Chains A and B, each alone.
Chain A
């Protein structure tokens, strides 16, 4: 489950924002319940036992509630999955399905702490160089073989093998080895202690050794298992018809009891309008990431219920700092002040978005609530620009300096209507202060190619924020030569702080460092942070016990059920 955090996603980048209903009350982003609490920074035996109790309590409560078995859930997907092999999958849809098929060592709670799953408990050794997991002894693969520590250690070996093609191999780099202590005890060893040891170990799902050890080296990405997986979770794989649907059915032998819903079908419909039509007419039961423009129409449907929660993503305009015009701090600050972000949110996201101030979102534990942002102030923006020499000397309505008109292209990707609309709004807003914006909507791979080669002036994209706070890839000056710090942001003071914070195991000290790091970025405005959206999901009202979280709409899906008299299938 934690790996969902990493799937940054083509899907998200093409999709539209998400949300929290005015009627479905969600806690304010600053409410403690919404905070990411990275318990794994200093995990100990006592904490895991406490989590264990909470987890058991959830199941006890579920068991105590009468729930009828039966019925089916039809989920509408905008894109097909790529693979259902935990070692090779890349897409978010595949990951969501896999969460129901296969267990990870731990489960993510709504507060983002780890809860027992395949592992009942875990503890660090003195000095934090060994992490031992005690597994359940009643978990079976869907072909009847028991899940053991051999599977756990085999999974790590495969994840670390370069020829497997495991996308998050980097997260396993500090894990030295996995030792099978006995059939139900696995011990991980490390070269050094660092904050995210638990996070790195539990990232990814466990795979069956008895099946995958037969796959020749280097052939995992094309193994037949990818489309015909054997899991050990609450649902078992039944059928995958490419581009049509994936069907999974209740696992009668699941250790925590059979989930109530008989079947879950993931129906692939690569068209948003069509998905909405099917949702309204009952041809699908659930749709994730409903574009805000459909909210009002769908909320009028009696049979549908909206579930809305903050997303973990934000949209921004990145300024190419190799461009002399954007190297000026005051120019960047002026650009942010000249863009009315609230108007963008009100016009395009309706009420389903908030201004984002920096690279860490309010739902993440390291968020700095005291950030002072550059709010909309076109007058001040004009003054800043004038101070930097940008004035309308020839009276044509456009700012110029040394005979050069202030004009730049703003690139973004085709297929995301909200972003395309934003380019036009930004064009209008910056025209007010005398800056010409030329919207340039490009096909996705071309945009990526341009960003990688740093061939842009301004670019609009979005990021999904990882649970594991590490700003190196996007903001560190060492990353300028890599792919993602394409704006070429460089601040030696930030680099130093980031390097320290990444390795700081004291949660409070780390928090203070990340607060400072955010302040630096906000002051420097290498991005104009536009907004963070809320995710709107709609589901048919017959489903009970539905709880959707930022971590995943399917967070407690094994608990969902439908009263007998309302069952449709």
Chain B
């Protein structure tokens, strides 16, 4: 398995380099210039040209490309952000952990809620609960994340009345956080992450619950399940010990495939809830033609997707002994 992982990692390098190259030329081909964000008749054209020079934008595209790739590969250096006026690396290092935190919790919600509801719906097939969860899942699945975010904002964060149960934005209570005890700080972080994580996780959980239900119903009809039941095993043991493990195999694939959706979902959700992560950095970079930042964000997202898929493949082999990674 080790050689498989190393090989997959080596294959990822040209893949990511290709992604970087395509993105580099795409963003430069788009109309507009990074200095256009300073659309100010009082700004001296010479000052604007100076800025272009300082950021290396006055160089031919080929030179800019070689410099950029060399910086990324040799020094893990992504250049300077013209809009944020700081090294891109600093911005990414602040934003990335926040997005990982949010994505991890969203994934947890997606899996726990999705699998739990899927199992219950399968074992109570055609019950009121099954019908209710079908309608609910369909509703959440078809709801765009920005809309779900706004609905949650209105319901819980002060939209309906002047009182609010949960904070509408950010990671912490910026006024009181410093004076809180350790436990209060944890609670503060939890209440802040709840709404964005629910927004991100519930839609995906709806999908997982439907897959889970379908897979479990499929597995329950297999001969070995009938055998287990015939042996006199309890319903609980049959479902959880024999049925669930087999039903989970395709779910792992689906989770692996849902990672890109999850990461791209952060772009919207982070904007709605002002979550200071990579999604917000990505939106700002795209609108401001912040080339260095835009390329770095895409590269990081690309890496996260590649790694996510690799982890899914490995888990697939762990869960299903018939699969051998070679």
Contacts and interface: CB of A to CB of B under 8 A. Distances in A.
Interface of A: 6-10, 13, 72, 74, 80, 82-83, 85, 88, 90, 162-171, 218, 221-222, 226-227, 241-245, 247, 263, 265, 267-271, 273-274, 277-278, 280-283, 301, 303, 443-446, 448-450, 463, 466, 473-474, 482-484, 569
Nearest to B83: A82
6 contacts: A167-B44, A242-B84, A244-B174, A267-B169, A283-B167, A466-B42
A97 to B, nearest CB: 14
A282 B162 CA distance: 8
* 3 nearest CB pairs, A to B: A281-B158, A445-B32, A170-B44
Contact of A243 (B37, B95, B167): B95
B40 A7 contact: yes
A270 B274 CA distance: 6
Contacts of B150: 273
A278 B283 CA distance: 22
Given A243-B281, A282-B158, A473-B41, 5 more contacts: A8-B41, A82-B83, A270-B271, A283-B169, A444-B37
Given A170-B44, A242-B95, A274-B153, A449 B50 contact: no
B302 interface: no
Interface string B13-28: 0000000000000000
A318 to B, nearest CB: 13
B91 interface: yes
B36 A473 contact: no
Contacts, number: 189
Interface string B252-281: 000000000000000000011110100011
B39 A165 contact: no
A569 B176 CA distance: 8
A477 B31 CA distance: 26
A271 B272 contact: yes
A167 B40 CA distance: 9
A163 to B, nearest CB: 7
B40 A9 contact: yes
Interface string B164-198: 10011111001110000000000000000000000
Interface residues of B, number: 57
A449 B47 contact: no
A444 B36 contact: yes
B158 A269 contact: no
Interface of B: 30-33, 36-47, 50-51, 54-55, 80, 83-87, 91, 94-95, 150, 153-154, 157-159, 162-164, 167-171, 174-176, 271-274, 276, 280-281, 283, 287-289
Contacts of A218: 54
A9 B37 CA distance: 8
A445 B289 contact: yes
Nearest to A163: B50
A8 B164 contact: no
Nearest to A162: B50
B42 A473 contact: yes
Nearest to A449: B31
B174 A226 contact: no
Contacts of B47: 162, 165-170
A301 B171 CA distance: 27
Contacts of A10: 37-39
Contact of A168 (B44, B272, B287): B44
B179 to A, nearest CB: 10
A277 B32 contact: no
B39 A8 contact: yes
A337 B258 CA distance: 56
A162 B46 contact: yes
A244 B171 contact: yes
B170 A244 contact: yes
B158 A165 contact: no
A6 B169 CA distance: 31
A281 B168 contact: yes
Contacts of A446: 30-32
